[in-house]
């Protein structure tokens, strides 16, 4: 049976726009940094093209929103939905601000660039000869490890599936929006598909970008992601 994209619920994942630290390649977890002017423009441009009635992300079809508590994510949500956000909330659609979708806690690596982290670990003898550190498998000193991240993301995914399971054939609006951060959203995709976080799967998600997850064959037991998605036909 072919997927019915007009009916099957979707999960939109949106990365916040550019920040000064992201622009410099500095690991940004708990640091509460705001969007740059360009970062806000990235979000507004995404919104103008993709958000609205009969567009890719139709606010009228949302059943729930999850957003990171960090300023950069909160600003992104406001810029993305604009006036739609007040309507959504007045209609009783829950907007959940939660640490469960906050960025990976980098601990002692906060603010460092990738080469600096790897050099630091080499000096401390934390990595075997020839091994290169990556956050997915190794976690962060004083911060989170993969199992902690997996636990909180799995909690969100379980809540989403509970919302969407009764709506696999469009019984009611059940799209979900998650506004968060680059690394945690890539981890979210891994867990959505049931993959371990350390499994090698190169992914990219640009600042202000939108990814789309859903299900094959209108089945909640077949989570999938859209490699490409056509825009709605007017």
Residue 199 lies in a domain: yes
Residue 4 lies in a domain: no
Does position 100 have pLDDT exceeding 60, yes or no?
Answer: yes
Residue 138 lies in a domain: no
Residue 130 lies in a domain: no
Given the residues 84, 103, 144, 181, the one annotated as active site: 103
Q: Any catalytic annotation for residue 226?
A: no
28 known member of a binding site: yes
Residue 134 lies in a domain: no
User: Which CATH number fits the domain that encloses residue 173?
Assistant: 3.40.50.1240
User: Residue 91: which of 117, 60, 66 has the closest Cα?
Assistant: 60
pLDDT, residue 93, reads 92
Number of domains in the chain: 1
Residue 49 lies in a domain: yes
Q: How far is CA 191 from the centre of its chain?
A: 11
123 known member of a binding site: no
The residues pairing with 225 across neighbouring beta strands, listed in sequence order, are 213
Q: Which residues have C-beta within 8 Å of that of residue 216, sequence separation ≥ 6? A: 3, 222, 224
127 known member of a binding site: no
Given the residues 16, 84, 144, 181, the one annotated as active site: 16
pLDDT in tens, 137-155: 899 999 999 999 999 999 9
Residue 67 lies in a domain: yes
pLDDT in tens, 23-66: 999 999 999 999 999 999 999 999 999 999 989 999 999 999 99
Q: Any catalytic annotation for residue 181?
A: no
5 known member of a binding site: no
Does position 159 have pLDDT exceeding 60, yes or no?
Answer: yes
Does position 1 have pLDDT exceeding 70, yes or no?
Answer: no
Residue 43 lies in a domain: yes
**pTM confidence score:** 0.94
Neighbours of 100 (CB within 10 A): 20
Identify the domain containing residue 201 by its residue range.
11-102+146-225
pLDDT, residue 234, reads 62
Q: How far is CA 182 from the centre of its chain?
A: 7
Q: What is the 3-state secondary structure (H, E, C) of 138-201?
A: HCCCCCCCHHHHHHHHHHHHHHHHHHHHHHCCCCCCCEEEEEECHHHHHHHHHHHCCCCCCCCC
CB 220 within 8 A of CB 161: yes
SS3 of 78, please? helix
């Amino acid at each position: 049976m072919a997927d019915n994209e007009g009916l099957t619920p979707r999960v939109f994942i949106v990365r916040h726009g550019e920040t000064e630290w992201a622009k410099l390649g500095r690991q940004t977890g708990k640091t509460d940094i705001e969007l740059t002017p360009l970062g806000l423009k990235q979000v507004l441009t995404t919104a103008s093209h993709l958000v609205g009635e009969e567009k890719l992300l139709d606010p009228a079809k949302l059943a729930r929103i999850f957003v990171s508590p960090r300023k950069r994510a909160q600003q992104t949500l406001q810029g993305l939905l604009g006036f739609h956000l007040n309507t959504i909330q007045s209609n009783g659609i829950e907007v959940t601000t939660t640490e469960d979708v906050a960025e990976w806690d980098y601990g002692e690596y906060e603010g460092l660039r990738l080469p600096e982290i790897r050099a630091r670990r080499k000096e401390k003898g934390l990595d075997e000869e020839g091994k290169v550190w990556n956050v997915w498998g190794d976690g962060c000193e004083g911060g989170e490890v993969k199992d902690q991240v997996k636990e909180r993301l799995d909690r969100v995914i379980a809540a989403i599936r509970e919302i969407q399971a009764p709506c696999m054939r469009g019984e009611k609006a059940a799209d979900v929006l998650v506004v968060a951060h680059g690394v945690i959203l890539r981890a979210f995709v891994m867990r959505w598909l049931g993959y371990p976080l350390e499994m090698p799967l190169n992914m990219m998600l640009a600042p202000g970008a939108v990814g789309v997850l859903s299900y094959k064959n209108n089945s909640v037991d077949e989570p999938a992601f859209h490699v490409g998605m056509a825009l709605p036909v007017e």
